[in-house]
């Protein structure tokens, strides 16, 4: 464990740095959720961020903070998901080389999306471990810079810019509800909000199926979980290795909530019907927690981070058909 040493100045610097690449996203009120809960609920729409998730914030802050030598050689990661897309997008925007290593099990549409964003896709092996080995080999050989999706103070500071936007537009907020996985998103936002007022209540939401961070928080140490298929695929996976986020999340989080697959699907259909928003499973867990009445401490003014949009359309349409009558 390494002390993270973040300051508010880091967050303001991140905001200035990433402004040309990651957009400020809208905050919209949700009359439907407000009526349901009796609190004033607003949604922070990171599903409308570039590439369909909040991840360009952290990636942009990291790439723009690298020394010129590493910038020239390029960056590398292993992710077929939102981090891979974000890294490809930011690198392309800055005219940098980006390499994304994937196992051959990564879906073709995701590979193509990353290629379209201008990154080199290297397919190697049939598991993530093998893709990681290939990435380490390339990294040494070509002296690329590995960009971690969450366990990096500079990435965390980038995600923290969401906290600044929340405070400025909604200064009386009592509670923030945040999708949780590796903890870069929650850690960054909570750092900013707790610096402004330690009384702001921070809630992390995960799926019931394989919630590594929540299990680890309960155990008081990092534990391995069995990965299970879930609609919230952006939140799946373990949280090792971990230098920063486990400690940061542990210090800043007030409450954790787990939601079922059924509740996630209901929230995706709800976002589509009531807000005309496309939200992926991992992005919808905050809405799911509110609709299920699962928060212990709601407060009067509540912001819910809607973290991503990247769902397979046929899947969303199927979920919508099955769940629309229920919302």
Ligand X SMILES: *Cc1c(COP(=O)(O)O)cnc(C)c1O
How far apart are alpha carbons 325 and 297 in whole angstroms? 29
30 sits near ligand X (criterion: CB under 6 A):
no
Decide whether 103 or 183 has the Cβ nearer to ligand X.
Answer: 183
Closest residue by Cα to residue 186 from 250, 236, 279: 250
Q: Considering the complex, state which of residue 153 and residue 282 has its C-beta at the smaller distance from ligand X.
A: 282
Nearer to ligand X, 175 or 242 (CB): 242
Ramachandran region, residue 38 (left: φ > 0; alpha: ψ -120 to 50; beta: rest):
left
What span, in angstroms and rounded, lies between the C-alpha atoms of 59 and 275?
28
Single out the segment in contact with ligand X by CB under 6 A; choices: 105-113, 182-190, 195-203, 295-303: 182-190
Cis before 241 (ω within 30): yes
Name, in order, each residue with C-beta under 8 angstroms of 317's C-beta and a sequence gap of 6 or more.
none
**Residues 46, 162: Cα–Cα separation, whole Å:** 9
> Under the criterion CB under 6 A, does residue 154 sit at the interface with ligand X?
no
Q: What's 267's DSSP letter?
A: H
Confirm or reject binding of residue 183 to ligand X (CB under 6 A).
yes
Angle among Cα 25, 214, 285 to the nearest 5 degrees reads: 40
Nearest to ligand X of 185, 264 (CB atom): 185
- Answer for which of 193, 235, 288, 298 binds ligand X (CB under 6 A) is 235
Among 283, 284, 298, 299, binds ligand X (CB under 6 A): 283
CB-nearer residue toward ligand X: 95 or 241: 241
Which of positions 111-150 make contact with ligand X (CB under 6 A)? 150
What is the number of alpha carbons within 13 Å of residue 63 lying toward its C-beta? 31
Residues 31-60 that bind ligand X (CB under 6 A): 53, 55
- CA–CA separation, 242 and 238 (whole Å): 10
Among positions 51, 61, 175, 181, the unique one binding ligand X when judged by CB under 6 A: 181
* Residue list 300-319, contact with ligand X (CB under 6 A): 307-308
CB of 164 to ligand X, least distance (A): 17
Nearer to ligand X, 121 or 306 (CB): 306
Report the interhelical angle of 184-196 vs 8-18 (nearest 10°).
120
Residue the block writes with tokens 């922070």: 44
Residue 185 binding ligand X, by CB under 6 A:
yes
Per CB under 6 A, contacts with ligand X among 70-99 are 82
Site residues (vs ligand X, CB under 6 A):
53, 55, 82, 150, 179-186, 234-235, 280, 282-283, 307-308
């Amino acid at each position: 464990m390494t002390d993270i040493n973040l300051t508010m100045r880091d967050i303001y610097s991140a905001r200035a740095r990433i402004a040309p690449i990651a957009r400020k996203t809208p905050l919209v009120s949700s009359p439907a959720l407000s009526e349901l809960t009796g609190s004033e609920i607003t949604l922070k729409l990171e599903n409308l961020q570039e590439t369909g998730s909040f991840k360009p914030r952290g990636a942009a802050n990291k790439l723009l903070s690298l020394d010129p030598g590493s910038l020239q050689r390029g960056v590398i990661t292993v992710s077929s998901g939102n981090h891979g897309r974000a890294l490809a997008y930011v690198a392309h925007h800055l005219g940098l080389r980006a390499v994304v290593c994937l196992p051959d099990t990564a879906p073709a549409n995701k590979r193509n999306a990353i290629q379209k964003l201008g990154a080199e896709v290297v397919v190697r092996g049939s598991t993530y471990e093998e893709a990681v080995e290939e990435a380490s080999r390339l990294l040494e050989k070509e002296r690329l810079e590995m960009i971690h999706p969450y366990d990096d103070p500079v990435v965390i500071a980038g995600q923290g810019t969401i906290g600044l936007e929340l405070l400025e537009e909604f200064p009386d907020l009592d509670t923030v509800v945040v999708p949780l996985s590796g903890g870069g998103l929650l850690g960054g936002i909570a750092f900013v909000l707790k610096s402004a007022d330690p009384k702001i209540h921070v809630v992390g939401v995960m799926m019931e199926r394989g919630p590594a961070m929540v299990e680890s928080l309960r155990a008081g140490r990092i534990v391995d979980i069995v990965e299970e298929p879930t609609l919230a695929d952006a939140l799946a996976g373990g949280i090792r290795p971990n230098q920063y986020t486990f400690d940061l999340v542990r210090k800043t989080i007030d409450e954790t909530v787990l939601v079922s697959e059924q509740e996630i699907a209901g929230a995706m259909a709800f976002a589509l019907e009531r807000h005309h928003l496309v939200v992926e499973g991992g992005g919808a867990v905050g809405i799911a927690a509110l609709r299920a009445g699962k928060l212990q401490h709601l407060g009067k003014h509540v912001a819910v981070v809607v973290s991503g949009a990247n769902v397979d359309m046929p899947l969303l349409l199927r979920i919508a058909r099955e769940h629309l009558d229920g919302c």
